[in-house]
Amino acid sequence: MKVSRAIVAVAACLFAISSHAALFEDDEARRAIIDLRQKFDTSQQRTTDDLRRATEDNAQLRRSVLDLSNQIEALRGELATMRGQNEQLNRAVSDIQRTQKDLKQGVEERLQKIEPSKVSVDGKEFVAEPAEKQEFDAALAMLRKSDFAGAQAAFVSFIGRYPQSGYRASSLFWLGNAQYALRNYKEAVTNFRSMIAAEPQHARAPEAYLSMANSQVELKDAKAARKSLEDLVRTYPQSEAAAVAKERLARLK
């Protein structure tokens, strides 16, 4: 009887212990589940926070990119404006340079009209006034057009206006030719002789001797013509005029 009671007591004790153990295990499981939930919630919150921050960072990045794009467009606009201004400046500089060139050319042309310049006539170089050159050229142009009367008047006027001109010897020569064409042989002889006396080394001096002799022949002064031809051959023996003079001397004998 006592044994049975002891067994029952032991069994009761074991049941109590087993029940307590089961209860203990349920509490641990609940705490574990609670811990897991807390960890999950914490992880989910962290993920949510990370996602929110990423979204905010992404939005900020987009704003930065948009701002950068706007800045680039603004710089492009400024660059285009600067290029336009640079083109305007280049055109302005070109206009100024053209204006300066035109002004310089205009000044040079005006100076050429009033300042003496070096000229070359019949192998002779000298300085002449613009008006002086213009008048000589005009007189010579008349002669070339066979306007002998006009040329005679123009050369007489020129010699009177510019008695010391470098054109004087050439003017006397062409004046004599104009007078020969007009059959003013006496005046022609005078001007050919004056030309030779003034510049015996002039390139046209041999021709002047020959033309003077021709004028003297026309005046029926064979003696004077012979002397002119002999002087020509003696003074300018290598000239073409001298060869012609020799032929005429042979015919005058």
Segment 130-148, tens digit of pLDDT:
999 999 999 999 999 999 9
Segment 206-247, tens digit of pLDDT:
999 999 999 999 999 999 999 999 999 999 999 999 999 999
Please state, in angstroms and rounded to a whole number, the distance separating the CA atoms of residues 233 and 246: 7
User: Strand, coil or helix: what is 154?
Assistant: helix
Q: Is the pLDDT of residue 181 over 50?
A: yes
Of 23-27, 89-93, 149-153, 194-198, the poorest mean pLDDT is in: 23-27
Taking residues 146-168, what's their average pLDDT?
97
pLDDT at residue number 21:
57
Report CA-CA distances (Å) from 153 to 122, 146, 171, 188. 22, 13, 11, 13
User: Strand, coil or helix: what is 219?
Assistant: coil
- Give the confidence band of 114 by pLDDT, cuts at 50, 70, 90: low
Q: Provide the CA 3 distance to its chain's centre, in angstroms.
A: 136
Please state, in angstroms and rounded to a whole number, the distance separating the CA atoms of residues 204 and 58: 102
State the burial class of residue 180 (Cβ atoms within 10 Å of its Cβ: 0-12, 13-18, 19+): buried
Report CA-CA distances (Å) from 5 to 2, 8, 11, 17, 18. 5, 5, 10, 18, 20
Instruction: Looking at 126-239, list the stretches that DSSP marks H as alpha helix, in order from N- to C-terminal side.
Output: 130-144, 148-161, 168-181, 185-198, 205-218, 222-235
| % of the chain exceeding 90 in pLDDT | 53
- Give the confidence band of 107 by pLDDT, cuts at 50, 70, 90: very low
